[in-house]
Structure 1
Amino acid sequence: MIKVMIVDDSPFIRRIFKNIVEHDKELTVIATAKDGQDALEKIQENRPDVITLDIDMPVKNGLETLKEIMKMEKPIPTIMVSALDNRETVMKALDLGAFDFIPKTEQFPSTDTSSLSNTLIPKIKAAAQIEPKIPSYDIKPISPIKDKISKKDLKSKFPIVAIGTSSGGPKALKAILPVIPADFPAAILIVQHMPAGFTKSFADRLNQESAIKVKEAAEGDIIQPGLALLAPGDYHMQIDKDGRVRLDQTPTVWGVRPCVDHLFKSLAKNFKDRVIGIIMTGMGKDGAEGMKAVKKHGGYGIVESEETALVYGMPGAAIKANAYDEILPLHQIPEQLIKLIERRLQ
């Protein structure tokens, strides 16, 4: 039985969350708290397996509380609950070691809680399987590579790196994109499972920390070397044969939108052996079918190893499907990516 603590200053939301959690036979609510200070006191008494933590609270807010939780000898996996206008605070919480987050929309919570339940329950179960820690990676700086490659066909035949990730992805992406050199001769496309309203803030944050340009993808954007495009929340992203971004809101796949499989399959179909697919930490099995398509059309597949992946659902699914060439710890992926691209362009 997974023991859950619910922390929110709203009695109504505490009750809604409690009803959703206890509707699942594998979960139980061991305690609720009205603010961060109340939560920290009750953690000592009850020792939950997972915490849902509201950000906006009196006495001690969610971010302050999370800092205290992460200082504990055994930090507790924590899922943040945030209003849409708290995007930057959510990003800070993920930096501090929060497992994931759930957004409060204008309709949150509505009388129909099925959508919230479908989001909350899998995240709680996934969080219960991990040991949270403040992200720390030994990533080697990568030197400029413009003098190491041939410029032959670079404009029309540049490699395309496609990255798919979910829970734990924001931290993993921050271990990769900021170390990629400014003269990176490949296009980068990213699907990070993240709700609408948060992907632009995340892309802007990555852009500030990276030498390459990172932006939230828009309809009609053209892929190009040195540019990383992040799929917007609530939109599937595909790339057409002319290298233009195509966004749509067709039904969710594996319960998510954007879907990694959609992106990878479109790239495999249109760009074949130019594609390098990377599947990193995340819940579920999104990306495995897409990586199979990448491999089938002559592309290359890298999967993050279990030793560094916060959640091994997506990487594990790709491995089970035999859809990979290499399994690497996160800190080795950037350097190997450079080596692959250098070989392709020489």
Structure 2
Amino acid sequence: MLVEDSRVVRELLTHIVGRDARLEVVAAVASGEEALAQLACARPDVISMDIRLPGIDGLETTRRIMAEHPTPIVVVADSVEDSSLRISMNALRAGALSVVEKPVATTHAGYDAVADEICTQLRIMAEVPVIRRRPIGTQWAVRGASPAALAPFPSQAGRPTVLAIAASTGGPPALARVLGGLPETFPLPVLLVQHMGAAFMEGFASWLNGVVPMPVALARDGERMEPGRVYVAPGDRHLELGSGGFLRILDTAPVGGQRPAATVLFRSVARQAGAGGIGVLLTGMGEDGAQGLLDMRRAGAATTAEHESTAVVYGMPAAAVRLSAASAVLPLERIAGHVLRAAMPETSP
């Protein structure tokens, strides 16, 4: 099902989907109300959702679909407007699975790449099982919130110095859940990789900054990391931890088809921080991050993969589990507490 209020864009999306023999348009509607009305009879496997709609917007439509007729949703958004980016991120939090850039015209320079990405995301997301759910609440995402008291974590060989965390499909709400469970006074810097179109990364970082206690921003090359701050890999660039706690932003080749790649980040943390690293791999399609997490574990770091029971897509964490790269495999709601314990190991008397 295509949900798009612009007739021109709706026809363009119909044309794009029609190019892929594995996809079929069962409905193309101009409003959220129409989408909800036709959902039961059209029974789409996946929905392409515009954000700016007349009447109820794409965010509210997403919420209602996920509460009443859970269906995989791909947000198709205008990446230029800040307000659209914020709404798109909140749609991901409400249950949408991914966000892709809206096509402009067949004559546009990046049209083919955008069209291919839309079809790829629709095909992939059509296979993702979704369940009826309420939007993730905000009780775990309030600045200044105090965490519950936690028992000390068993001693590691090295004093924790950095947390590296990565996700792909389903990542934004999962990252918000984990980082939202950490206090503003979290004692380590946080390095983060999220697979997402380059045009959306600044908006993603801005959105995350508004829903978790720690300040969040895109990482800058040569920047020295500081405790209690979250550094997000910028769009289409690798993020590495360099010597002396300085960050490196690289445009070297993709690794495993990804740039930024979780494996690149994790391997750099293994090299520079050794047993002082903490690595977390969350929901995502593919296998990115698994080999890097294994490097971290071999270096003595505490490593965690999200459990299958909560992962939207159990691809990346599953790959890590197969490699025995994760020293702990936990459902999403337990990861923040585990990370806090790892960041505060027992000290010798």
Per the normalisation by structure 1, the TM-score is: 0.85
Q: Which has the higher contact order (CA 8 A, sep 6+)?
A: 2
Confirm whether residue 42 of structure 1 aligns to residue 38 of structure 2.
yes
The gaps in structure 2 that reach 5 residues or longer are none
Contact 1:241 1:271 in 2 (8 A): no
SS of the counterpart of 2:190? strand
Given residue 162 of structure 2, which amino acid in structure 1 is its aligned partner?
I
Contact 2:103 2:114 in 1 (8 A): no
Structure 1 residues 182 and 11, CA, compared in 2 at 3 Å: closer, same or farther? closer
CA distance in structure 1 between the aligned counterparts of 2:165 and 2:347, rounded to whole angstroms:
20
CA distance in structure 1 between the aligned counterparts of 2:11 and 2:230, rounded to whole angstroms:
42
Contact 2:214 2:229 in 1 (8 A): yes
Which residue in 2 is equivalent to 1:267? 269
SS of the counterpart of 1:206? helix
CA distance in structure 2 between the aligned counterparts of 1:108 and 1:96, rounded to whole angstroms:
31
Structure 1 residues 111 and 178, CA, compared in 2 at 3 Å: closer, same or farther? closer
In the TM superposition, residue 316 of structure 1 has moved relative to its aligned partner by 1.3
Q: 1:56 aligns with which of 41, 52, 55?
A: 52
Structure 1 residues 59 and 158, CA, compared in 2 at 3 Å: closer, same or farther? closer
SS of the counterpart of 1:131? coil
SS of the counterpart of 2:130? coil
Structure 1 residues 336 and 35, CA, compared in 2 at 3 Å: closer, same or farther? same
Q: 1:163 aligns with which of 165, 169, 175?
A: 165
Looking at secondary structure, tell me which structure has more strand per residue. Answer: 1
Which residues in structure 2 correspond to 1:63-212 (within 5 Å)? 63-72=59-68, 74-84=69-79, 85=81, 86-104=84-102, 110=108, 113-128=111-126, 129-132=128-131, 133-136=133-136, 142-143=147-148, 158-212=160-214
In the TM superposition, residue 174 of structure 1 has moved relative to its aligned partner by 1.4
Q: 1:251 aligns with which of 245, 250, 253?
A: 253
The gaps in structure 1 that reach 5 residues or longer are none
Contact 1:158 1:185 in 2 (8 A): no
SS of the counterpart of 1:41? helix
CA distance in structure 2 between the aligned counterparts of 1:339 and 1:141, rounded to whole angstroms:
14
Given residue 67 of structure 1, which amino acid in structure 2 is its aligned partner?
R
Moved more, 124-133 or 43-52: 124-133
Which residue in 1 is equivalent to 2:336? 334
Which residues in structure 2 correspond to 1:228-239 (within 5 Å)? 228-239=230-241
SS of the counterpart of 2:164? strand
Contact 1:158 1:187 in 2 (8 A): no
CA distance in structure 2 between the aligned counterparts of 1:159 and 1:50, rounded to whole angstroms:
42
In the TM superposition, residue 109 of structure 1 has moved relative to its aligned partner by 7.5
Output the aligned Cα RMSD: 2.9
Confirm whether residue 318 of structure 1 aligns to residue 320 of structure 2.
yes
In the TM superposition, residue 11 of structure 1 has moved relative to its aligned partner by 3.9
CA distance in structure 2 between the aligned counterparts of 1:344 and 1:197, rounded to whole angstroms:
43
Contact 1:9 1:33 in 2 (8 A): yes
CA distance in structure 2 between the aligned counterparts of 1:117 and 1:290, rounded to whole angstroms:
31
SS of the counterpart of 2:198? coil
Contact 1:252 1:259 in 2 (8 A): yes
Given residue 125 of structure 2, which amino acid in structure 1 is its aligned partner?
A
Name the % identity: 33
For residues 84-112 of structure 1, give each alpha carbon's deviation from its aligned partner in whole angstroms, at most 9, with x where no partner exists.
Answer: 20111112212222221112376787376
CA distance in structure 1 between the aligned counterparts of 2:183 and 2:106, rounded to whole angstroms:
42
In the TM superposition, residue 317 of structure 1 has moved relative to its aligned partner by 1.6
Per the normalisation by structure 2, the TM-score is: 0.85
Structure 1 residues 345 and 283, CA, compared in 2 at 3 Å: closer, same or farther? farther
